[in-house]
Amino acid sequence: MDLKRYADQSHGDWSVFTELSDDLRERLPDLEQSKAEHPQHCWYLIRLHGGIEPEVIGPFRTQMERDERARELRKENDEDVIVQLDSTDSNVAVNAYSAGYLANEADL
């Protein structure tokens, strides 16, 4: 069975057909993977000043850059809450740093 994928580019929907009628074949363009938009990853920090007042910091170009900034913020003030905010297009995830992750390496 030869399955072909076709995309409706105006809505981003797709369907899979085992056979296509001529009228469907004319209306539906072939899906071109090379034209697909890849999700954009963005990395931020959320800093809660005094554990209360939120501040969003970023975006950062890489996770490593974000984590380095989090360590710098921890050295400046060890009372603020600092959490990760990761975004991929419309998906958002907020995660805590594990215990000791932001600790000064000299203190370990």
CA 10 to chain centre: 24
pTM across the whole model: 0.57
Question: Contact at 8 Å (CB) between 43 and 60?
Answer: yes
Q: Amino acid identity, residue 68? A: E
Q: What is the pLDDT of residue 102?
A: 83
The domain spans of the chain are 4-35, 41-98
Q: Round the average pLDDT of the chain to a whole number and report it.
A: 79
Q: What is the pLDDT of residue 39?
A: 66
Q: What is the pLDDT of residue 56?
A: 93
24-70 pLDDT, tens digit each:
778 777 777 777 776 678 899 999 998 889 999 999 999 999 999 99
Closest Cα to residue 25, out of 10, 15, 34? 15
**For the CA atoms of the chain, what is the radius of gyration?**
23
In the predicted structure, residue 9 carries a pLDDT above the cut 50:
no
